[in-house]
Amino acid sequence: MTAKTNSSDTIQLTIQNGVATITLNRPKQLNSFNEEMHKALAATLDEVVEDEQVRAVIITGAGKGFCAGQDLGNRDPRKQTYDLGQTITEFYNPLMRRLKDLGKPTIAVVNGVAAGAGIGIALACDIVLCADKAKFAMAFGKIGLVPDSGLTWTLVQLVGLARAKALVLTNATLSAEQALEYGLVWRVYESERLMDEALALTTALAHGPALGTALTIKALNAATYNSLEEQLKLEANYQQQAGFSDDYKEGVTAFLEKRPAVFYKNK
C-alpha cells in the first residue's frame, strides 16, 4: 500500500491504494473557488493524470460543504464591474473539460451543500455519491447569473429539458433524496459512512482494468452526441484497443483458471 500526501492551502491531495483523493479546502467559504484554488486544482489534476499509480480520483470538500461555486466574497459589483465571461473561459470551462476527459474514473463525494458551479463540478464527475444531509442549490438566478460549468448541458442530459428549466428558473434547492430521485447522484449515504463507502467503490475501480475503464467512460460520454452508427464504429475501435491489452489477457486467463483477475498491483 502506498500513501502520499501533498497539500497546498486550498487543495489537499492524498494518494493511497491507487486512489487520489482531492479535497477542496476553503471550508470557511464552503470551498468556493477563488483564483488560487482554481490554479491549485488544475495543477493537482495534472499531477494525478501524470501519476501512473493513480487509477481513480475522488473529489470532495473539507468541512461541512462540498463547494459553493464562485467565491462571492471577492466580488463587489458596487465598486467595479467584472468580466465573468473571462473567468468562465479561463478557469471554469478548462476545469470542466479536464474533468470530462481525465482518462481515469472520477467520483464526486458531495459531503454537504453544493451550489452554483459546485454542482457543475460534481456532475462533471463519472459517479456522484452524496451525504444524506447534502443539498444541491442552483443559486445562479439568485445573483442574476446563468448556469455555467456545463450545467445547461449536463442538467438537460440528466433530468430532461422540462425539469432542468424548472430547477434553474425557480433556483431550486434539491435534497439528497430528490437528487437521487432525479438521477443526479448514484447513492446517498449517512455522513458517517460516506467516505468509507466512497473509498470502497473507488478502490474497486482503481483495481479494475484501466484501459477498458477509460475507454468505457469515453464511449458513454460520446454517446451523448453521437448517432448509433457513430457509436457502433467507436465501440469496434475501442474494443479492438481493449482486446489488445494485457488486461484482456489477464481477465480471460483468470476466467479460464477460475480465479479473480488481478489488473493492478500496488508498488
| Positions that interact with ligand T3D (CB under 6 A) | 29-30, 32, 68-73, 75, 84, 87-88, 113, 115-117, 137, 139-140, 143, 145, 148
Provide the minimum distance between the beta carbon of 245 and ligand T3D in the complex, in angstroms, as a whole number.
Answer: 39
Q: Which is nearer to ligand T3D, 16 or 111 (CB)?
A: 111
Provide the minimum distance between the beta carbon of 68 and ligand T3D in the complex, in angstroms, as a whole number.
Answer: 3
Q: Which residues contact 201 (CB under 8 A, 6 or more apart)?
A: 107, 127, 129
Provide the minimum distance between the beta carbon of 160 and ligand T3D in the complex, in angstroms, as a whole number.
Answer: 23
Q: Which is nearer to ligand T3D, 117 or 174 (CB)?
A: 117
Which DSSP category does 29 fall into? G
> What's the rounded Cα separation, in Å, for the pair 176 and 225?
29
> What's the rounded Cα separation, in Å, for the pair 223 and 231?
6
Provide the minimum distance between the beta carbon of 34 and ligand T3D in the complex, in angstroms, as a whole number.
Answer: 9
How far is C-alpha 249 from the chain's CA centre? 30
The beta strand positions in the chain, using DSSP E, are: 3-7, 11-16, 19-24, 56-61, 65-67, 106-110, 113-115, 127-131, 135-137, 173-175, 187-189
> What's the rounded Cα separation, in Å, for the pair 41 and 51?
15
Provide the minimum distance between the beta carbon of 171 and ligand T3D in the complex, in angstroms, as a whole number.
Answer: 9
Q: What cell does 39 get?
A: 490554479
Q: What cell does 92 get?
A: 471554469
Neighbours of 178 (CB within 10 A): 15
Provide the minimum distance between the beta carbon of 158 and ligand T3D in the complex, in angstroms, as a whole number.
Answer: 18
| Helix-strand-coil split of the chain, %, nearest 5 | 50, 20, 35
- Name the residue whose CB lies closest to ligand T3D: 69
Q: Which is nearer to ligand T3D, 19 or 41 (CB)?
A: 41
- Say if residues 107 and 56 touch (Cβ distance below 8 Å): yes
Provide the minimum distance between the beta carbon of 72 and ligand T3D in the complex, in angstroms, as a whole number.
Answer: 4
